[in-house]
Amino acid sequence: MSNTFDLIVIGGGPGGYVAAIRAAQLGSSVAVIEKRKALGGTCLNEGCIPSKALLDSSELFVQARDKFAGHGILVDPPSLDLGKMMQRKEEIITRLTRGIASLFKKNKITLITGLGQLGTPPADGPLKVVATTEAGEQTLQGKRVLLATGSVAVDIPGLPQDGNQVGQARDALSYDSVPEHLVVIGGGYIGLELGSVWLRLGSKVTVVEMLEKMLPGTDHEVTETLLKSLQKQGMTIHSGTRVASLEKSADDVVLKLEGKVEQTLTCDKVLVAAGRKPCTDGLALDEAGIKLDENGRITVDDNYQTSAANIYAIGDLIHGPMLAHKAMDEGVVLAERLAGEKPVVDYKLIPGVVYTHPEAASVGPTEAQLKDQGTAYKVGRFPFMASGRARAMDNVDGFVKVLANPDSGRILGVHIIGPYASELISEAVTVVSFGGSIEDVALTMHAHPTLSEAFKEAALGAFGKAVHG
């Protein structure tokens, strides 16, 4: 095996593996160093994919328990086989990781399982990367190096994790029994999603969030509607509250809360979901002359090059939201720019999704952000309660909100909470990306009955043209 490559990628997550595949498709020789034994990074192995598998399974469990009878489907109350549910989740992960591995073979990408570290910067000639594997160290040489090591969960001082009673997302995705009482520290999308999984399966769930306003980057109306729905489902939410102390015994964990809510909680599981930080440890960034910003992220130019020549970084390591699809697009753009093409990532139009029930999704600025910018806008809303398809699905919570320029009708932002919001947002992203207007949506025929009609009605509603609103 040659140890010299056009591109060496450290990290086989969404950004890294996509960049590697695209670069190989464009004719580069590529090596990827990944510490896990499976590709896909946090997203595929202990994040996006397993959480969605459990969210879907737990939602089906709730439907069988609470909604089947309303459809005339009479069954005995369902019982939970948690082991089978977890097995299904693992099988999904295995299929997808094997799929990426097969793409690596197809594109002749060299995969090395181990830890990657930048070597001593050469005075001239190729860059060096040291891969530490079970068999020992090996040094690779490359014309360019891409750092794509992603992020790790943030630890909270005074709340030591043991992976059992107190753990992070990856632990909450693999509980061997349903917690009697799960306390989630952090009310972001990770905490709300995993809290929803165990709430549906029978846990008492309490969410503790230090910020007064949860999901601060989300439209206010969407956030309020989502939190009310989760509370109606049985989730207890304490905003403006922090955990002052934690004590563990063999049987339970005792938390003292301070702030807006002051009380003592006793639970059997604690999920720490207080955010994520760039995974830069062990890369030898200082030695390579790579600079970080005030948030500990790697600084890059418009071509994703770091302060060190021919060393690049993407994904959670750099500016922007820590989202898999953002990293993937950056990986493609980087590979194509290295090949002489000129694609770009529009950071103003990255969709965000919360996969709770109901789902929440958005693209573009919120009303609050438009007001802060001094940008004039009109609002169109359409409730799913008025959607024939949502009614037929018995899934009517939520609405679509469209924000548009009052003069040109150009759509500025779209915010959705309701059934399949994660899928509906793609049409909105497309329209906004092309500078589309209310008139463009009005001229686009939507099949009836569909959930997507709600987007059209909301868009028309911004100018008082909605037929059903």
Averaged pLDDT for residues 47-65: 97
State the amino acid at position 463 in one-letter form.
F
Report the C-alpha gap between 363 and 283 in whole angstroms.
34
- In terms of C-beta density within 10 A (0-12 exposed, 13-18 middle, 19 or more buried), how is residue 373 classed? exposed
Report the C-alpha gap between 185 and 207 in whole angstroms.
6
Averaged pLDDT for residues 354-370: 97
Report the C-alpha gap between 289 and 286 in whole angstroms.
5
Res. 369 pLDDT band, cuts 50 70 90: very high
pLDDT tens track for 427-464? 999 999 999 999 999 999 999 999 999 999 999 999 88
Residue located via tokens 């992220």: 297
Return the structure tokens found at 298.
């790697």
Checking if the pLDDT of 55 tops 80, the result is yes
Q: What is the pLDDT of residue 466?
A: 73
Averaged pLDDT for residues 408-437: 97
Radius of gyration over alpha carbons of the chain, in Å? 24
Q: What is the pLDDT of residue 121?
A: 81
In terms of Cα–Cα distance, which of 143, 163, 145, 147 is closest to 155? 163
Q: Answer whether 140's CB lies under 8 Å from 118's CB.
A: no
Checking if the pLDDT of 385 tops 70, the result is yes
Distances in whole angstroms, Cα of residue 186 to Cα of each of 47, 50, 208, 265, 272: 16, 19, 6, 15, 7
Pick the catalytic residue from 220, 357, 448, 468: 448
Q: What is the pLDDT of residue 262?
A: 94
Return the structure tokens found at 404.
């548009």
Which domains, and CATH codes, for the chain? Answer: 4-152+278-347 (3.50.50.60), 155-274 (3.50.50.60), 358-461 (3.30.390.30)
Q: How long, in residues, is the chain?
A: 469
Q: Is 446 noted as a catalytic residue in this protein?
A: no
Query: 50 φ, ψ to 5°?
Result: -60, -35
Q: Answer whether 121's CB lies under 8 Å from 287's CB.
A: yes
- In terms of C-beta density within 10 A (0-12 exposed, 13-18 middle, 19 or more buried), how is residue 212 classed? exposed
Checking if the pLDDT of 125 tops 90, the result is no
pLDDT tens track for 164-209? 999 999 999 999 999 999 999 999 999 999 999 999 999 999 999 9
Averaged pLDDT for residues 353-374: 97
Give the DSSP letter string of 356-401. SSSEEEEES--HHHHHHHT---EEEEEEGGG-HHHHHHT----EEE
Residue located via tokens 């930048």: 118
The contacts of residue 242 (CB under 8 Å, 6+ apart) are 208, 210, 257, 258, 259
Query: 23 φ, ψ to 5°?
Result: -65, -40
- Give the rounded percent of residues in the chain with a pLDDT score beyond 90: 94
Averaged pLDDT for residues 55-60: 98
Give the DSSP letter string of 284-352. -HHHHT--B-TTSPBP--TT-B-SSTTEEE-GGGSSS---HHHHHHHHHHHHHHHTT------GGG--E
Res. 123 pLDDT band, cuts 50 70 90: confident
End-to-end Cα spacing for the chain: 65
State the amino acid at position 267 in one-letter form.
C
How many CB atoms are closer than 10 A to CB 263? 10
Q: What is the pLDDT of residue 238?
A: 97
Checking if the pLDDT of 73 tops 90, the result is yes
In terms of Cα–Cα distance, which of 272, 247, 344 is closest to 303? 344
Q: What is the pLDDT of residue 467?
A: 77
pLDDT tens track for 298-356? 999 999 999 999 999 999 999 999 999 999 999 999 999 999 999 999 999 999 999 99
Q: What is the pLDDT of residue 1?
A: 57
Report the C-alpha gap between 188 and 273 in whole angstroms.
7
Checking if the pLDDT of 469 tops 70, the result is no
pLDDT tens track for 126-165? 999 999 999 999 999 999 999 999 999 999 988 889 999 9
Q: What is the pLDDT of residue 372?
A: 96
Checking if the pLDDT of 272 tops 70, the result is yes
Distances in whole angstroms, Cα of residue 387 to Cα of each of 70, 150, 429, 442: 19, 40, 21, 17
Q: What is the pLDDT of residue 2?
A: 72
How many CB atoms are closer than 10 A to CB 258? 12
Report the C-alpha gap between 84 and 78 in whole angstroms.
14
